[in-house]
Structures are given as structure tokens and as C-alpha cells.
Amino acid sequence: MPQANAYVIERLGAYNGTWQVGLHIKIPLIDKIARKVSLKEHVIDFPPQPVITKDNVTMEIDTVIYFQITDPKLYAYGVANPMAAIENLTATTLRNIIGDLELDQTLTSREHINTKIRMVLDEATDPWGIKINRVEVKNIVPPRDIQTAMEKQMRAERERREAILRAEGEKKSAILIAEGKKEAVILEAEAAKEAAIRSAEGQSTAIRMVQQANADSIRMLVEAGPTKEIIALKSLESFIKAADGQSTKIIIPSEIAGLAGLATSLKEFLKEDTENN
């Protein structure tokens, strides 16, 4: 007996035993090999089966069955044509399952359909010595008009998503542009503010320096202990500076009038002396 095979032996027309891998002796004319069984896993691809969904849509579904023979005796004597029995059982089970589902559920529930068919077939084929390992829905083919409607729906859905993505992109772009303009305005305002503060600080510093210089000049003058004549002369210099400005009339106090004449005469004398030299 080769590996992964089993022979069902009959003696005088009655079941005598099952030969597994190894050496066996058959009595001629008495023992007969009733059936040779392969213990490997088998695959059957059934043709498409017409089914009707819950919402009255007729479609075709073909399935693939993976099974293995576990008991050669039950397989040989359990059912006359095991493959035809499995095919018919698969078709009726598939119609029952799809009849409870709508079209959209049928297209998205392959795993549910596979599991339910496998459970029903495995339980039904157990007395036949067959173990259903797996069931796969290979193709689901709806009517042509349904396919056309689904394609239009998918196209419309893609266009809707595209429009949404485009609108979101434009929205984000507008937001970024507005934020950029806002930040630019804020930066310009901050720059103008900083410039105004620096200008004010510069003017304040200049005023403080001028005031400090005046204060230092007054302090030095006070520390030097000036006489009345020097104070009068300084006052005269101040009036001279004022006279060089936009003023059109100057009132000189009587106290320094004499000193003013003296200073004028001294200035003219120095001027003539310079010209003569």
C-alpha cells in the first residue's frame, strides 16, 4: 500500500477491512478491493450557482471546497456519489445564506458566507467520512445593470471625495495665507513700535545729556565763585546769542547796560588792532 492511500476490502461481497500503508495479502477470488481512497486533501471548484438576495437581486456565485477523507469505510458506503452530494448541498446552503442577505451585505460578507457554509457542510458530510477543511467564495457576479449602477456609484463617490479633498486643500491654503498676512502685519506693528520706542529713548537721552551739561556748567560756575562783573558778562553773552536768532527786539537790563557798551568798545578796539597788524 502506498503512502496517503487506503483500500476498502470486501470478502465475498461484505466489508472485510481497510488496508493502510504497508504490506498486505489478498486472497484471490475471495477478497476484492471495493474502493481505492486517497487520503490527501482534495479541492473541488463548483460551477457558478444562481442565487437571489433578500432584495431580489439575482447573481451567480461559485465556490471552492477543500475537504479530506477521514474514514474510507464511511466514504465508500455512506453515499453513492459523494461529490454530487457535496455540490448539491453547497448550492442549497448557499441559496439559504444569500437569501437572508441584501446585495451590499453579500458583497462585503464573504468571510461570513464562507464560515457558515463550512459549518453546514462539515456537519452534513461527517456521516460520509468527509472532513470539510475550508470553503471559499471564489466569485460573486451581479447582473450587468447592477454592475453598471455600482460603477457609477463608485465613480460618483470618488468624485465626491476628490471634491472634498480639493476644498479642504483650498481651505488650508487660504488659512495659511491669512495667517501669513496676520503675522506680517503684527511684525510690522512690532517693528514700528520698537522704532518709536528707540527714537523716544534717544530723544530722552539727548535731553538728559543737555540738561546734565547745563547742570554741570552751572555747578562749575557756582564752584568757581564768580564776581558780579563775570555774571554780568555771561548775561551779556546770552543776550548776544539771543540777538543772533529770530528775535527782533531785545530789552537789556540797566545793570549790564554799561558793561554792554564797554564790551562793544573793546570788541571794536580789538578789531581795529587786528586790521592794522
Which pLDDT does position 67 carry in this prediction?
Answer: 93
pLDDT in tens, 189-245: 888 888 888 888 888 888 888 778 777 776 776 666 656 656 665 665 665 555 555
CA distance 101 to 95: 10
Of residues 18 and 245, which shows the higher confidence score? 18
Give per-residue pLDDT as tens, 93-143. 999 998 888 888 888 888 888 999 999 999 999 999 999 999 998 888 887
Nearest C-alpha neighbor of 135 from the set 211, 214, 43 = 43
Please give the residue that has the higher pLDDT: either 256 or 169. 169
Query: Rounded to an integer, what distance in angstroms lies between the CA atom of residue 47 and that of residue 87?
Result: 9
* Per-chain mean pLDDT for the chain: 80
> What is the SS3 assignment for 177?
helix
CA 77/CA 21 separation, integer angstroms: 21
Cell numbers given for 265: 568798545
pLDDT at 143: 77
The whole-number pLDDT of residue 269 equals 45
Q: Given pLDDT bands bounded at 50, 70 and 90, which one contains residue 275?
A: low
**Cβ(63)–Cβ(93) under 8 Å?**
no
**For 243-269, what is each residue's pLDDT tens digit?**
555 555 555 555 555 554 555 554 554
What pLDDT, on a 0 to 100 scale, did the predictor assign at position 257? Answer: 52
- Sheet holding 5-11: strands in order across? 14-19, 5-11, 31-38
Q: What is the 3-state secondary structure (H, E, C) of 2-67?
A: CCCEEEEEEECCEEEEEECCCCCCCCCCCEEEEEEEECCEEEEECCCEEEECCCCCEEEEEEEEEE
Which band of pLDDT confidence, cut at 50, 70 and 90, is reported for residue 65? very high
Q: What domains does the chain contain, in order, with CATH numbers? A: 40-142 (3.30.479.30), 227-277 (no CATH)
Share of the chain above pLDDT 70, in %: 79
Share of the chain above pLDDT 90, in %: 18
